[in-house]
Amino acid sequence: MWGLLLALATFAPAVGVSLGAPSASVLGLAPPGTTKAPVPSPAPRSSPTEPPAGKENGTSEHHVRIRVIKKKKIIMKKRKKLTHPRPPVTAGPSVTTSPAGTLDLPEKQEPGCPPLGLESLRVSDNQLDASSSQSFGLGPHRGRLNIQSGLEDGDLFDGAWCAEQQDAEPWLQVDARHPTRFSGVITQGRNSIWRYDWVTSYKVQFSNDSRTWWGSKNRSSGMDAVFPANSDPETPVMNLLPEPQVARFIRLLPQTWLEGGAACLRAEILACPVSDPNSLFPEVPMLGSSDPLDFRHHDYKAMRKLMKQVNEQCPNITRVYSIGKSHQGLKLYVMEMSDQPGEHELGEPEVRYVAGMHGNEALGRELLLLLMQFLCHEFLRGDPRVTRLLTEMRIHLLPSMNPDGYETAFRRGSELVGWAEGRWNHQGIDLNHNFADLNTPLWEAEDDGLVPDTVPNHHLPLPTYYTLPNATVAPETRAVIKWMERIPFVLSANLHGGELVVSYPFDMTRTPWAARELTPTPDEAVFRWLSTVYAGTNRAMQDPDRRPCHSQDFSSYGNVINGADWHTVPGSMNDFSYLHTNCFEVTVELSCDKFPHENELPQEWENNKDALLTYLEQVRMGIAGVVRDKDTELGIADAVIAVDGINHDVTTAWGGDYWRLLTPGDYMVTASAEGYHTVTRSCRVTFEEGPVPCNFHLTKTPKQRLRELLAAGAKVPPDLRRRLERLRGQKD
C-alpha cells in the first residue's frame, strides 16, 4: 500500500551508522550525581561543507572517515569514495561531537529489548510530549517510526514531529508510565513529498518525574553521549545506549539537523519492562495468547520446516505443495487443509488466503503459519468448529507470495527494515500492480453495449500483450495465475500490512487518471458484507479507542472501503481474481506496523484469529449446487450461472458443481451451457446458514444430440428425425 507516497517520498537511502553498546548492569532509578536542571543547550548546528569541484564524469571526490573495529581496537582510516553530487537540500551536515563525547563503538549491535510501541500504537498519543511543534500535524503524536504523511502539504497528518524553527532546545518526550529499562533508540526523518527534514545527531535524557533529568553518559569519558542520527528521511538508524537506564520518561534532544530544515524526527524506543515489587504502578497489560503456537518470525528455511512439521503432525488433513518459484528460485509453498487433501470433492468449495505479496509486510505471513498450526491442533482436539471447516471446504494457505522480498526484509529486522525495503520482488516489481488489467477492456465493451451478448462479463481472457514472452510479468505472478486457473476458488483474502482496514474491488478507478473514485462491482453488496465480516470480528479494528495509523481514520467508514475510493491500483490481484475467475477476493490491511516485533505476534494472533475463521465460513453464504445432464446425470463443466439483476456470472467446475455468493434475498437464477436448453429457476437466500441448494438439470438441444450421434457414427432415431423435420418446416 501507499505506493504513491513511496514513489514520491523515498529517495537514495543511505545506511546510517549505529553506535552504542548495551551493558549487563541495570542502573538505579536515581543515579548518583543527578541534578535538577533545565535541558542542556544543544551543540552548535553544523552546516554543510562546500562541495568540491565536480569531475567531468559527474562524480566528486570526498574523504570519508571510517571506524574499523578489530579486536576492540578502534582504528581510523581514510579512503576515497566516489559519490554523485546531491542538491544542497539533501546534503546533510556532518555531526560534530567533542572528543570527550565520542561514543565507544561495540563490536556488534544486538538490541536486548523489544520496541516500546510507538510504531504499533501501543504507546498512546497522550504519552508523547514535546518542547514545541510547528503545527498539530507535526505534533509529538506524529513522532512515530514509519508513520506516513498525508498528500497535502501541512495537513493534519504530517509525517513526523517537528519543533518550531525558533526552538533553541527542542526535545521529544515519551512517558512509559511504568519503570522501564531503556536500551536504545531508532530514528527516521520526516516523511513528506514536499520537504526534506531530518535530525543528524541527538542526546538522550531520562527522568522518573519529568522534572529531574540525567543524561546517557559515555562510558570512557563520563560526558553526555551524542548519538549520530539520520542521513536521509526514510532509513531507520538504531543507537543502543552505552548503559541501559531504568526510568519512566525518556527524552530525545536533537543537536544538529539538515541545513535549512527543521528538527524533525520519527522514533521508536527499545525498552524492557522491569519488576514493580511494591505495586506502585498499575499493572502493564500482557501481550499474549493461550494457544501453544510458534510465535516468531520465520525466514524461508524456518517456514519450510514449520510447514513440514504441521504436515507430519496432521498427515490426514494436510498437504504441502508448490505452485512455482520466485525470481531467485525459492518455491512458493502452499499448505492445503481438508479432510480429503489433494482432491476436489464435489460440492465442497475451495478457499484461499494469500500473504506476503509485499515482502516487508510480514504479519500476514506469520498469521497464516499460525493458522495452519491452530487448525491442526484443534482438529486433533476435536474442536467442532475447526472440524466442520476442514470437512466442508478445502483451504489453501500461501504464506509467502514474495519470498525474495521477505528475505531482504527479514535480514534487516522488524525495526530497521523501514517502510519500503523488501516490498518488491527481486526484479523490482510490485506484485500488486502486476496482474493483467482486465478492467479496461470490460469497461470499454460495456460502453459500446457489447456486454454480455458479445463480450462476457466474467472469465475475461488474458490480453495478448500479457502472454508474450517479453511481457513484464513476474514469475511469482505467473505462478499465482496458473494456480487460480487450476483450482475453482470461490473465496479469498489477500493479507497486507501498514493500515487497519479491509478494501474490496474494484481497486482501479473507472475514470482514467483519477487518483481515487468510488468504483463498485456488480457484487457491491457481497463485497461489503465480506469486508464487514472481517473488520467486525477483528479486535484491533473494533477497538473504539484506537487512533488512525497514518492519515486516514477508517473507523468512520466501519474500517471498510472500496479500493478505488482509497487509491487506484491498476492490475491488482483482487480485480483480476474477480474478472478472470469465480473467486471473490478482498484485501485485509492487518496492522499499522508492517513488520511487528516478535513479542507482538501473540496479540496480533488474538486480534485476527476469530476474523480469519469467520471469513472462511462466509463461503457458505449464497447458493450452491450441481448442473447435470438430464439424460446421463453427469455434471456439466463450464456451465454459466447468471443471476438476474447482477451483471456478473460464474461458471461450474469440471464436475458441474458451482457456488454463487449472494446476500439474503430472492433471486432468479439461470443455468446455461453450450448444446443445452437454458433453465431458469427461483432461489431464495435466507439469513440462516447456507449455502442454499440450487441444482439444475439441462436437456441437450436436438442439434447437439444430432452432432453427438453423427460423431459416434450412429443412426438418427425416428423421433429426433421427425423433430428436425418440424424445425426445418418452421424455418421455411
Q: List residues with catalytic annotation.
A: 589
Cell of 125: 498519543
User: Do 669 and 683 contact (CB within 8 A), yes or no?
Assistant: yes
Q: What is the largest CA-CA distance in the chain?
A: 112
Q: Which residues pair with 571 in a beta bridge?
A: none
Secondary structure element (H or E) that encloses residue 374, with its range: helix 363-381
In this structure, what C-alpha cell is assigned to residue 150? Answer: 498525508
Indicate the Cα dihedral angle 75, 80, 85, 87, nearest 10°: 20
List strands edge to edge, sheet with 501-504.
Answer: 318-325, 331-337, 394-398, 350-355, 489-496, 584-589, 501-504, 560-562
Residue 365 host element (H or E): helix 363-381
Interatomic CA distance for residues 337 and 332, integer angstroms: 16
Instruction: Tell me how far apart the alpha carbons of residues 634 and 655 are, in angstroms, rounded to a whole number.
Output: 8
Q: Are 172 and 130 in contact (CB under 8 A)?
A: yes
Which residues, in sequence order, are CB contacts of 638 under 8 Å at separation 6+?
A: 651, 652, 673
Neighbours of 413 (CB within 10 A): 14
Distance CA 224, CA 102 (A): 9
Measure the CA–CA gap between 44 and 157, rounded to whole angstroms: 31
Chain centre distance of CA 346 = 34
On the CB side of 112, CA atoms within 13 Å amount to 19
Ramachandran bin of 415, using left for φ above 0, alpha for ψ from -120 to 50, beta for the remaining angles = alpha
| Distance in angstroms (rounded) separating the CA atoms of residues 430 and 428 | 7
Phi/psi for 572 (5° steps) reads -80, 160
Distance of alpha carbon 5 from alpha carbon 193, whole angstroms: 7
300, 407 in Cβ contact below 8 A?
Answer: yes
Strands 318-325 and 560-562: unpaired
Contact 395, 616 (CB under 8 A): yes
d(CA 678, CA 695): 13
DSSP state of 2: -
Grid cell listed for 571 = 492490475
Closest CA to 627 of 617, 619, 637, 618: 637
Q: CB neighbours (10 Å) of residue 126?
A: 9
Q: How many Å apart are CA 170 and CA 163, to the nearest integer?
A: 6
Q: What is the distance between the alpha carbons of residues 678 and 20, in angstroms, rounded to a whole number? A: 76
Tell me the three-class secondary structure of 439-478, residue by residue.
HHHHHHHHHCCCCCCCCCCCCCCCCHHHHCCCCCCCHHHH
Measure the CA–CA gap between 106 and 203, rounded to whole angstroms: 18
Alpha-carbon torsion angle 376, 381, 387, 390, nearest 10: 10
Strand-pairing partners, residue 257, are: 199
C-alpha to C-alpha distances, 154 to 192, 419, 653, nearest whole angstrom:
10, 21, 54
Alpha-carbon span 636 to 645, nearest angstrom: 24
Other Cβ atoms closer than 10 A to 411? 12
8 phi and psi, to 5 degrees?
-90, -30
DSSP 666: E
